[in-house]
């Protein structure tokens, strides 16, 4: 693509980095691997833009999500990832601005929720993250992940049921 500038790339990084990092973090479980996956995704994006580009913004976003999901799958399948030592305690990926006592309570709640999401099988984890954290519709998730809408709906339903079951004690006051 002629006239592709560093400023253009920086705009795309600013637009998509948080979303891609969230997807990678949920799939890989730690910040370093997620950052590596996002960096590799933008490297591939830059190569693609220099060669052919995208039809439209929706195609571009779907392509980025597909690439980061595929890279995460590759990382998880690697011998290094499968055989590395036990993971350090689950870290939280997002931080908020609030009073210290609320921040501590909220961080603990988010950590438990994130641990519950991370314990889900990957197929449920993906759709839960894209639906709730990225605000994508069932149709968009299906298109991006290459799944039928009915499959995505079923996976959302099953994922929610598994989350409800694993978090039942925490939220069951009756």
Domains annotated on the chain, with CATH: 6-83 (1.10.1740), 100-171 (1.10.10.10)
pLDDT at position 90, please? 47
pLDDT mean over 15-42: 90
Contact predicate 79/106, CB 8 Å:
no
pLDDT at position 91, please? 47
pLDDT mean over 14-42: 90
Mean pLDDT taken over the chain: 81
How many percent of the chain have pLDDT more than 70? 81
Please compute, for residue 169, the number of CA atoms within 13 A of its CA located in the half-sphere on the CB side: 3
SS (H, E, C) 100-169: HHHHHHHHHHHHHHHHHHHHCCHHHHHHHHHHHHCCCCHHHHHHHHCCCHHHHHHHHHHHHHHHHHHCHH
**Does position 9 have pLDDT exceeding 90, yes or no?**
no
Taking the alpha carbons of 14, 73, 67, 121 in that order, is the dihedral positive or negative? Answer: negative
Contact predicate 26/117, CB 8 Å:
yes
């Amino acid at each position: 693509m002629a006239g592709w500038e560093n400023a253009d790339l920086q705009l795309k990084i600013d637009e998509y980095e948080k979303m891609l990092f969230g997807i990678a973090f949920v799939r890989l479980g730690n910040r370093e691997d997620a950052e590596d996956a996002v960096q590799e995704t933008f490297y591939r994006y830059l190569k693609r833009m220099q060669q052919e580009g995208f039809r439209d913004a929706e195609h571009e976003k779907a392509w980025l999500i597909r690439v980061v999901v595929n890279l995460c799958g590759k990382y998880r399948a690697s011998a290094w990832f499968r055989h590395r030592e036990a993971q350090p305690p689950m870290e939280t990926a997002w931080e908020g601005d609030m009073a210290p006592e609320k921040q501590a309570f909220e961080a603990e709640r988010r950590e438990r929720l994130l641990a519950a999401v991370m314990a889900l099988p990957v197929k449920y984890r993906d759709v839960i993250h894209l639906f709730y954290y990225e605000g994508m519709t069932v149709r968009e998730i299906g298109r991006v992940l290459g799944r039928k809408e009915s499959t995505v709906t079923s996976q959302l339903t099953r994922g929610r049921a598994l989350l409800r079951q694993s978090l039942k004690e925490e939220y069951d006051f009756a």
